[in-house]
Amino acid sequence: MNRKTESLLSVEAALSRVLDGVSTLPAEEVPVGEAHGRVLTGPLAALRTQPPADVSSMDGYAARAADLTAPATLKLIGESAAGHEFAGQVKAREAARIFTGAILPPGADTVIAQEDAEAEGDTVSLPAAKLGQFVRRRGLDFVEGKTMLEAGRRLTARDVGLAAAMDHARVRVARRPRVAIIATGDELALPGTGGDPNRIVASNPISLAALLRNENAHVSDLGIVPDKIEAIVAAMRLARDNTDILITLGGASVGDHDLIAPALKAEGIALAFHRVALRPGRPLLLGLAGPLRVLGLPGNPVSSYVCACLFLVPLLRKLQGRTDFAPAPVPAVLGQDMKPNDHRQDYLRAKITRGGDGRLVASPHERQDSSMQALMVESDGLLIRKPNAPAAKAGEPCEVILFAD
């Protein structure tokens, strides 16, 4: 096949093939304290009302606004502290000591802060007050039965707090997607095995696992498989049971040593596409067998990471029922002049800083060699250059994808 005439799938078309027909994984119940970052499978409604009654937002005195149209000295009849119901009732010309969070005694409708009051024996002198002052009304925060968190929402730290406040000890979330990773290549070695110049370290399973765990994936790293079709087929057979996504690294191109496509064929996994018009990452394949999705990523660590950001992260999100699954490009401005682009969509590794006016400024590294991991660690995200984009000047608008960490 000729590099210049081959037919390549667009990034958008490839992503929609990856996501096509994906349905949400089954739900599981987890303790609310372990639900951070997980995705709700159903709407979450309040099991109680908060505050459960009218409560004081200050330490002070609870009284009747009708008695405080002008400063007044009222009779002190008792005390209401948080967690301790006050049995009595505040009648005309009466007041009760009250503390933050305590329920207003029946009859009282207003709170006066303690620093504005002067208590003496069983009376207290209070200034004029506005009806309802320093009172948090019953249900101010939420009311029993009302849905406060929607299905498909990834739970933030604040969300799990609200879920707990709504009295949920456990919540239903999509189970973790199961991902298996196979790295292929006779040249690969595990980290820590020394400096043989014929070997390089299989480092992309490490960075991909970190990226995918951040999306709640349960990652099984199946290690390194040599460039032999029987070995790759055997690894695929082992991995595909009990797996939602099988990732292969390397061997995704069409050379003599590229064995992923033949191995998929041998395993009866249909090849949905094989090449995508993007850089880095042209050799990128999708295999389908029932609900199993096989993503064949380039062996190159930069290419595989970029492809994982573009295709795998959205897939993991959609599997968990997230509605905001697609990568969201963010507007920025170019930090330098750009040459015209060719027919492939470029994702340039870039430093992304914030200008004084608050806009993001994207400055791609001069070298974009897709083997250079050192430049990945100095990048904050990817500058998107559309296929056949014309030349552009520093300061012109552009779009970036920010790395999550």
**Contacts to a copy of itself from residues 223-252, by CB under 8 A:** 227
One of 93, 213, 240, 351 touching a copy of itself (CB under 8 A)? 213
Q: Please return the burial class of 344, using the count of CB atoms within 10 Å of its CB with bins 0-12, 13-18 and 19+.
A: buried
**Taking CB under 8 A as the rule, which mask of x and - marks residues 113-152 in contact with a copy of itself?**
xxx--------------------x---xxx-x---xx---
Q: Do 62 and 56 touch, CB atoms closer than 8 A?
A: yes
3-state secondary structure at position 272: strand
Specify the residue, 21 or 195, whose C-beta has the smaller distance to a copy of itself: 195
Q: HSE of 272 in the Cβ direction (CA atoms, 13 Å)?
A: 19
Q: Does 110 bind a copy of itself (CB under 8 A)?
A: no
One of 91, 339, 343, 354 touching a copy of itself (CB under 8 A)? 354
**Taking CB under 8 A as the rule, which mask of x and - marks residues 257-296 in contact with a copy of itself?**
x---------------------------------------
Rounded to whole angstroms, how far apart are CA atoms 266 and 306?
28
Q: How far is the CB of 19 from a copy of itself (least distance, A)?
A: 22
Q: Which residues is 113 bridged to in the sheet?
A: 60
Cis peptide before 280 (omega within 30 of 0): yes
Among positions 2-21, residues that touch a copy of itself (CB under 8 A) are: 2-3
- Choose among 356, 344, 355: nearest CA to 387: 344
Q: Which two tokens stand for residue 190?
A: 């595990």
**Phi (first) and psi of residue 235, to 5 degrees:** -65, -40
Our measurement of the distance from residue 286's CA atom to the centroid of its chain's CA atoms, rounded to an integer in Å, reads 24
Rounded to whole angstroms, how far apart are CA atoms 350 and 356?
19
Q: How far is the CB of 237 from a copy of itself (least distance, A)?
A: 23
Q: Does 339 bind a copy of itself (CB under 8 A)?
A: no
One of 10, 24, 100, 368 touching a copy of itself (CB under 8 A)? 100
Size of the site for a copy of itself (CB under 8 A): 109
One of 64, 124, 168, 345 touching a copy of itself (CB under 8 A)? 168
One of 29, 66, 84, 337 touching a copy of itself (CB under 8 A)? 84
